[in-house]
Amino acid sequence: MINEIALNDWYPVAMASELKPGCRLNRVLMEREIQISNDGDKTHAFEGSRVLPLQIRYDHVWTSLGAPARPLFEIPEGEQDGRRLVACGRVHVRCSPLRAVENFLDIAHFPYVHTGILGAEDHPEVERYDVEIDDEKDEVWARQVKFFQPQAAKSAEGGIMADYMYRVPAPTTSILYKTCPARVGEWDIITLFVQPVSETTCDVWPWMALYDDETPFNDLVQFQQTIFMQDRSILENQIPALLPLDPKMETPTRADLTSIAYRRWLKRRRMFYGAQTIAA
């Protein structure tokens, strides 16, 4: 069942760069077939003959099957001068859209899933960090996250303690603010925009806004694709396929605080599309 909450949110369905004049893209959003078309000067989204709301931001096309309850979230940093904006295409995954977001919020898997890149087996410890559900903004934030990384970014050389912040501005979007190797004091932004295809399948659109004038564009894209494809086999093998909102069958620890806060927030705002809502 698609609940109202899920229906009324904004979702990414295409990269802006795909919108060539005359193009017509077929997409599936929450089990419904929709079309994105460009008539030369304007882009439209339809479900059958019904016109859907549409906006183009952060290099992606966003639409909604319902009446969006609130505007699309802001990423002010993404609009700062001097950043390189990198849309990485989409990766289809047989997992709940919520699991894709949850995994993105997790650092403890770096040593085993992203071995030698984002983590190392001899530095697995997760230090204490702060998590907050911001009721006013209706967002989840994790701050003061630190983790040892052998190669934190394409432009990083040698291991560093990377500083992270995570922000969940919408149930199917996660934004990572990460130590910027090229510009001290600034944050690189790496986001995961998730398009729910069904409750157990999704298309993931990674997008980055980086201060990095040196790394070739293609290397940036492929670094991000490498990381996400390492996650993909994990995501397709978690049981149950739906994200449990009652962790009775699981054993979260302090390192899972962001994941648990994310689930708590989903539960509170009654976003159940892709979630397991029966008591485990």
Partner 1 sequence: MTQQSPSPTAKPSSSWIPVALSAGFRPGSNIRVFADGNDIALWSSFSGKLSAWVNRCPHRGMRLSHGFVRGEMLACIYHGWHFAQDANCKYIPAHPELVPGEMICAQAHHAHEQDGLLWVSCAEEEPDAPARLPGFGVRSLLIDAPRPVLAGVLEVTHEAQGRWELTLADQPVILGVQDWPEGRTGVHLLTKEAVSAETKKMLSRELEAMRRTCEAIAPVSASASASVPSGPSSRSGDAA
Partner 2 sequence: MKLYDYVLSGNCYKIRLFAALLGIPYETVAVDLYPGKEQTRPAFLRLNPAGTLPVLQDGDLTLTDSSAILTYLARRHDPTGQWCPQDPELLAQLVGWLSFADDLTRTSGAARLHAIFKKPIDSVAAQKGAHALLRRLELHLCDQEFDDSSFLLGKAPTIADIACFPYVALAPDGGVELDGYAAVQRWIYAIRKLDGFLPMPGIHPLHEHPDKPLPEGLNARLEA
Partner 3 sequence: MSFAKIEFYGTFDTRHFCDWIGHRAHKLGLTGRIEAASSERITLYVQGQEELLNAMEVACSLGPIDADVSHTNLVFIDPADASDWPNRFQIDVGPEVLADRR
Residue pair 78/58 in contact by the 8 Å Cβ criterion: yes
Q: Could you say which residues in the range 245-274 bind partner 3, by CB under 8 A?
A: 245-248, 251-254, 256-257, 260-261, 263-264, 267-268
Binding-site partner at residue 257 among partner 1, partner 3, partner 2, none, CB < 5 to 8 Å by type: partner 3
Binding-site partner at residue 239 among partner 2, partner 3, partner 1, none, CB < 5 to 8 Å by type: partner 1
Q: What's the closest the beta carbon of residue 39 comes to partner 2, in angstroms?
A: 23
Q: Give 10's contacts (C-beta < 8 A, 6+ positions apart).
A: 55, 62, 63, 64, 68, 72, 170
Q: Which is nearer to partner 1, 218 or 253 (CB)?
A: 253
- Estimate to the nearest angstrom the gap between the alpha carbon of 84 and the chain centroid: 18
Q: How far apart, in Å, do the first and last CA atoms of the chain sit?
A: 19
Q: Exposed (0-12), middle (13-18) or buried (19+): which is 234, by Cβ within 10 Å?
A: middle
Q: What's the closest the beta carbon of residue 158 comes to partner 3, in angstroms?
A: 30
Q: Is 80 in the site for partner 2 (CB under 8 A)?
A: no
SS3 14: strand
Q: Which is nearer to partner 2, 200 or 222 (CB)?
A: 222
Binding-site partner at residue 85 among partner 2, partner 3, partner 1, none, CB < 5 to 8 Å by type: none
Q: What's the closest the beta carbon of residue 200 comes to partner 3, in angstroms?
A: 19
Binding-site partner at residue 261 among partner 1, partner 2, partner 3, none, CB < 5 to 8 Å by type: partner 3
177-213 per-residue burial string, b: 16 or more CB within 10 A, e: under 16: bbbbbeeeebbbbbbbbbbbbbbbbbbbbbbbbbbbe
- Beta pairing class for 275-276 and 243-244: parallel
Residue pair 37/23 in contact by the 8 Å Cβ criterion: yes
User: How many residues sit in the footprint of partner 1 (CB under 8 A)?
Assistant: 34
Q: Could you say which residues in the range 95-134 bind partner 3, by CB under 8 A?
A: none
**Where does this chain bind partner 3 (CB under 8 A)?**
245-248, 251-254, 256-257, 260-261, 263-264, 267-268, 277-280
